[in-house]
Amino acid sequence: MESLKSLKENVAIFLPENGLEEKLKLAEKENRSLRIKLGFDPTAPDLHLGHAVVLKKLKEFQDLGHQIVILVGSFTAQIGDPTGKNKSRQPLNADQVQKNAETYINQLSKIINVDKAEIVFNSDWLDHLPFSDVIQLLSKVTVAQLMHRNDFNKRFIENTPIAMHELVYPILQAYDSVQINADIEMGGTDQLFNCTMGRQLQETNGDAAQIVLCMPLLRGTDGKEKMSKSLNNIIGLTDEPNEMFGKTMSIPDDLLEEYIALATDFSIEEKANLNERLKSDNPMLIKKIVAKNIITQYHSEKDAEAAEAFFNNQFQKRNDDNRVFEPIEIDSLQITTEKISVLEVCHQLKNDLSKTAVRRLIESGAVQINGEKSTDPLADFLVEKETKIKIGKRDFFELK
């Protein structure tokens, strides 16, 4: 099962552990496709690379012939935040939901084949759910189960108010799974609890329980929090190529492995190869490869090339900062071997400063070599023509 190995790649949580294998066998035995649910909140239709982690997994299933079901959470979006405390959850009317859903579907088409996907709105069944059925639904779930959800439990213990309707929302998400007869529900790892409710409700209803596949949460360009529009750390699927390139170049180096795994569409072997190169190559080189791959996915290879050229050009300009680089003849450097330390080179260029002062400049991040900060005074300096060295705010040198 080559496809199984690929389907399992990157998945953070399988519930139950062997559930995927069993559902795939079932589909084969019953000669049918699996119904794979992904819920979507139509209040925030801007998709980013974080969403893409899940969507690309969906695409894999779609390519194997399975049925994607996109669930638009129109019911709750039309209610908004009934307490009025959450300003970002203003109630939407049906038109706004429809418009946001269209925006969303349009963005989905960058990853999955939306013509083959089923798009459903949960207001279709929730708007007219009689109150007596609501009570029946609520009776299937206990308060303790809901309170076990991490954030509820924390808030309860800390006496942070939990309004009653908040406890109801996970049950609604579960009810959606019953309605659409989901075999698999996908989501980020933060959706594990809600997806698990679906399993329970399907079983209570006499249906087979869906399995749950949770994908890791991609961190945003800040390298700290999960990618989220409200944190202003996203790379959007509809960002222009140049913006995508620049944002990708801005991520911290230690995020590269995560982005290679989750944001690129390289093969498993190519990814392993890049990770190997990470150990020795300048991270900026790998970032450029990752950035071009991302742009190729959401725009085109040509766009990726153009974005790189634009970035290099901009980068050049930024470093130029409208100043003339002082040309330094390589021969003028007092070098003993081919390599000397950053500290030695900088001290030779700025011999009006003491060696200690230069060391401090380097350690404080005030020295850039080819646009990259160089904070280790004793790091090797590769003597090469066209190397650009910036010391402090005003001194620019270029080896000739």
DSSP codes, 243-287: HHHHHHHTS-GGGHHHHHHHT----HHHHHHHHHHHTTS-HHHHH
In angstroms, give the least distance from the CB of 80 to a second copy.
10
Residue 242 neighbours by CB under 8 Å, 6+ apart? 307, 310, 311
Q: Which is nearer to a second copy, 167 or 306 (CB)?
A: 167
In angstroms, give the least distance from the CB of 97 to a second copy.
13
Give strand pairing partners of 48.
236
Q: Which is nearer to a second copy, 146 or 256 (CB)?
A: 146
In angstroms, give the least distance from the CB of 75 to a second copy.
8
C-alpha to C-alpha distance for 193 and 181, rounded to whole angstroms: 18
Tokens, residue 252: 């911290």
In angstroms, give the least distance from the CB of 147 to a second copy.
8
In angstroms, give the least distance from the CB of 201 to a second copy.
12
Q: Which is nearer to a second copy, 144 or 324 (CB)?
A: 144
Residue 222 neighbours by CB under 8 Å, 6+ apart? 231, 233
In angstroms, give the least distance from the CB of 141 to a second copy.
5
Q: Do 286 and 274 meet the contact criterion of CB atoms below 8 Å apart? A: yes
C-alpha to C-alpha distance for 262 and 287, rounded to whole angstroms: 14
Q: Which is nearer to a second copy, 76 or 210 (CB)?
A: 76
Q: Which is nearer to a second copy, 128 or 394 (CB)?
A: 128
SS3 48: strand
Q: Which is nearer to a second copy, 24 or 201 (CB)?
A: 201
Q: Which is nearer to a second copy, 140 or 226 (CB)?
A: 140
Q: Burial of 343 by CB count in 10 Å (0-12 exposed, 13-18 middle, 19+ buried)?
A: buried
Rule CB under 8 A: which residues touch a second copy? 75-76, 78-79, 82-83, 126-132, 134-136, 138-144, 146-147, 152, 156, 159, 161-165, 167-168, 171
Residue 72 neighbours by CB under 8 Å, 6+ apart? 40, 42, 97, 101, 104, 119, 120, 121, 122
Q: Do 244 and 294 meet the contact criterion of CB atoms below 8 Å apart? A: yes
Q: Which is nearer to a second copy, 75 or 381 (CB)?
A: 75
In angstroms, give the least distance from the CB of 160 to a second copy.
9
Q: Which is nearer to a second copy, 164 or 324 (CB)?
A: 164
DSSP codes, 93-125: PHHHHHHHHHHHHHHHTTTS-TTTSEEEETHHH
SS3 71: strand
Cα separations in angstroms, 182 against 53, 175, 190, 339: 20, 10, 19, 62
C-alpha to C-alpha distance for 289 and 294, rounded to whole angstroms: 9
In angstroms, give the least distance from the CB of 140 to a second copy.
8
In angstroms, give the least distance from the CB of 73 to a second copy.
13
